[in-house]
A = this chain, B = another copy of it.
Amino acid sequence: MQISELSDRSGLTVQTIKFYIREELLPKGTPSGATRAEYDQDHLERLRLIRALREVGDLPVAAIRRILAAVEDDGIGMHELFGTTQYAIGPHVTPPDDPHWRAAREDVDALIAELGWRVTDRAPARDLLAQTFVALRRLGFPVTLTDLRPYVRAAAEVAEHEIGGVTDGAPRARTVHSMLVSTVLSEQVLTALHRLAQEDASARRFGEFQP
């Protein structure tokens, strides 16, 4: 298929596709003549993946590039791919050299150690969590580790279910997609349901009767 057909089928403009090729999110088509190149089903799939990561996951192009480079690399294992993805989706909080920050970060580290979770020291989510602790405390809402129990329980259950559901024994491409879906897209599912559940809880607690 030519680029115009790829454009039609993906719903993206030709320029956007060219842009993704330039940005190395999408491999070039195989040349079939000096001014022509052939695209196939894989390109279409890739575009769908890119759009999912951009629109649903709201990932910047640079992050997607890093993730896809890992996807491409056949030598990389599932757990490394997972790590790469986690690292790429950031956000990359750069902790200031502040005692409150250090304290929060230590709390996070202590929590993870206590739970016995196998998480790298440089996992960005550690700082992400520490950052929210700092903000919460600044606003006068101190966080203790016991406050987190419901979150920990919920997070652990969902994560277990997700990682357990990663396709296995399927072709690598499928497993890899499955992994990305589990991390990036499922996060959005959880967030959306969380918001809906909150609205319900808020309605029951604060809402008036609906006639």
- A199 contacts B135, C-beta separation under 8 Å: no
- Residue from the list B48, B82, B131, B151 in contact with A206, Cβ < 8 A: B82
- A177 contacts B139, C-beta separation under 8 Å: yes
Measured between beta carbons, the chain B residues less than 8 angstroms from A120 are 199
- B128 contacts A192, C-beta separation under 8 Å: yes
| Nearest B residue to A11, CB-CB | B96
- B139 contacts A198, C-beta separation under 8 Å: no
Number of interface residues, chain A, beta carbon within 8 A: 82
Q: How far is the CA of A58 from the CA of B120 in the complex (A)?
A: 25
- B129 contacts A197, C-beta separation under 8 Å: no
Q: A183 an interface residue at 8 Å Cβ cutoff?
A: yes
Q: A201 an interface residue at 8 Å Cβ cutoff?
A: yes
Q: A91 an interface residue at 8 Å Cβ cutoff?
A: yes
Measured between beta carbons, the chain B residues less than 8 angstroms from A181 are 136, 139, 141
- Of A16-24, A26-34, A59-67, A152-160, the stretch lying at the interface with chain B is A152-160
Query: A interface vs B, CB < 8 Å?
Result: 45, 48-49, 51-52, 55-56, 58, 77-79, 82-83, 86, 91, 112, 115, 117-120, 123, 125-126, 128-129, 131-132, 135-136, 138-141, 143, 148, 150-164, 166, 177-178, 181-183, 185-208, 210
Known: A82-B198, A119-B203, A162-B198. 16 other contacts (CB 8 A): A58-B91, A115-B200, A118-B203, A128-B192, A129-B193, A132-B189, A141-B181, A150-B157, A151-B190, A154-B155, A155-B196, A158-B194, A159-B201, A164-B201, A187-B194, A190-B190
